[in-house]
Amino acid sequence: MKFNIATIPGDGIGPEVIEESMKILKRIGEVFGHEFSFQEVLAGGVAIDKTGEPLPLETIEICKKSDAVLLGAVGGPKWDSLTGDKRPEKALLGLRGALGLYANIRPAVLHDALKNASPLRSDILGDGIDICVVRELTGGIYFGDRGRRENGKLGVEAYDTEAYSVGEVERIARTAFEIAKQRNNKVTNVDKANVLESSRLWRSVVEEVAKEYPEVTLEHMYVDNAAMQLIRRPQQFDVLVTTNMFGDILSDEASMITGSIGMLPSASLGEGTLGMYEPIHGSAPDIAGENKANPIATILSTAMMLRFSFGLEQEAKAIEDAVTKVLGKDYRTADIMSDGMKLIGTKEMGELVLEELV
Ligand code: NAD
């Protein structure tokens, strides 16, 4: 099969980690008989330098026409003084909006070989962590009505509004149940239905959608309890589904449990098969251009792309297995290095994963 991928290397370590991922995809193509074609486009700081805009129209057009988008990272100190719509990070929000990507999928997997990297005790980690956070991405309080008013109870006050429509909740709930079907058939809905009206609607809609998935077990948890349970007994979770703001916070907490930011991939999905895939880390300007970045988060993002946008499960698994094997042979980039392990750079890590694919 033939797939067109728009690549956005972006800033800092972005180009380095994208390069390794493209090599892996090319090899997957050779091994499994697919053709991946890449079209590089501008976004972030590099786009500001070349065009004056963090997200040029041409980038949006090319991404819309592609089968999937692979992004490195955007931003860096060079553009820190810019404000509002001119900031590199605006490119991310702009792309999500333009491509209609409303579901953010963040798996938090603790590899057996990296148990030492987790801040949690090994008795809590048990035989490993494999959680998938499904976060609503385009609604809720981050996009609701906001403002300031003079006549607050104690003077000037500011407000932000949390609002969700039935349709918005239905589609994110379906995404979560579909993903749970491919995993361990369990969805934990996280809300604050004891206090918030928006959460009460959210919960009732999730319950309605659950009726379409009798094979999946649904449980509800208040967000404060979920934050606690993630640390207390993380193995109880399979898929967590939640709102934009709760998901923002809980997905970072879940990532931290796995230890390294350089290991974690993400996907943003919408109605069709077009998705945007990116590591959860930023542009790491402190190590950019030094062959020190861990490319695994981006490599695993390509595995998600194969799974969610192209329906290539076997090929996705091949990449994930190759990463596990390289870690099992004690190779580590600096961010996941520990005593007795073999320190390698970005390119070497990419090469070793490549070798395990054949
Ligand atoms: P960061 O994720 O870039 O870096 C945090 C720390 O983690 C740094 O010490 C960095 O060296 C390390 N790190 C990150 N990724 C790594 C990797 N793959 N391998 C090894 N070490 C890695 O976060 P930050 O420092 O807060 O932000 C730097 C810039 O990136 C800022 O301009 C920020 O706005 C931007 N940012 C972009 C995205 C994105 O593009 N999705 C996300 C977060 C931050």
Instruction: Provide the CATH number for the domain around residue 127.
Output: 3.40.718.10
- Co-location of 158 and 253 in the same domain: yes
- Co-location of 150 and 190 in the same domain: yes
Q: Kindly compute the dihedral angle of the four CA atoms of residues 357, 125, 182, 219, in this order, to the nearest 10 degrees.
A: -170
The amino acid sitting at 223 is V
Q: How far is the CA of 28 from the centre of ligand 1 (A)?
A: 28
Residue nearest to atom 40 of ligand 1 (CA): 73
Annotated active-site residue 238? The verdict is: no
Q: CB–CB of 319/26 below 8 Å?
A: no
- Co-location of 158 and 249 in the same domain: yes
pLDDT more than 70, % of the chain:
100
Can you give the pLDDT at residue 318?
98
Check the annotation: does 342 bind a ligand. Answer: no
| Model confidence band, residue 343 (pLDDT cutoffs 50, 70, 90) | very high
- Co-location of 98 and 58 in the same domain: yes
Residue nearest to atom 6 of ligand 1 (CA): 284
- Co-location of 200 and 290 in the same domain: no
pLDDT 10s digits, 149-178? 999 999 999 999 999 999 999 999 999 999
Q: How far is the CA of 152 from the centre of ligand 1 (A)?
A: 39
Ligand 1 site residues, Cβ closer than 6 angstroms:
13, 73-76, 89, 92, 261-262, 278, 281-287, 293-294, 297, 335
Catalytic residue among 11, 102, 192, 277: 192
How many structural domains are present in the chain?
A: 2
Q: CB–CB of 22/352 below 8 Å?
A: no
Q: What does the alpha-carbon distance between residue 11 and residue 15 come to, in Å, rounded to a whole number?
A: 7
Can you give the pLDDT at residue 112?
84
Q: What does the alpha-carbon distance between residue 269 and residue 89 come to, in Å, rounded to a whole number?
A: 19
Catalytic residue among 26, 142, 186, 347: 142
- Co-location of 309 and 202 in the same domain: no
- Co-location of 97 and 60 in the same domain: yes
- Co-location of 136 and 243 in the same domain: yes
- Co-location of 73 and 174 in the same domain: no
The first and second tokens of residue 210, run together, are 């659950």
- Co-location of 138 and 187 in the same domain: yes
- Co-location of 229 and 322 in the same domain: no
Can you give the pLDDT at residue 248?
92
Helix axes 346-357, 313-328, angle to 10 degrees: 120
pLDDT: which is higher, 325 or 115: 325
Kindly tell me if the per-residue pLDDT of 358 is higher than 80.
no
pLDDT 10s digits, 70-108? 999 999 999 999 987 889 999 998 999 999 999 999 999
Can you give the pLDDT at residue 85?
81
The CA-atom distances, in angstroms, between 29 and each of 12, 85, 307 are: 28, 38, 14
Q: Containing domain of residue 154, as a range?
A: 119-257
Tell if the pTM clears 0.85, that is, is over it: yes
Question: According to the 3-state scheme, what is the secondary structure of 267-314?
Answer: EEECCCCCEEEEECCCCCCCCCCCCCCCCHHHHHHHHHHHHHCCCCHH
DSSP state of 341: P
- Co-location of 270 and 198 in the same domain: no
Q: What does the alpha-carbon distance between residue 269 and residue 105 come to, in Å, rounded to a whole number?
A: 8
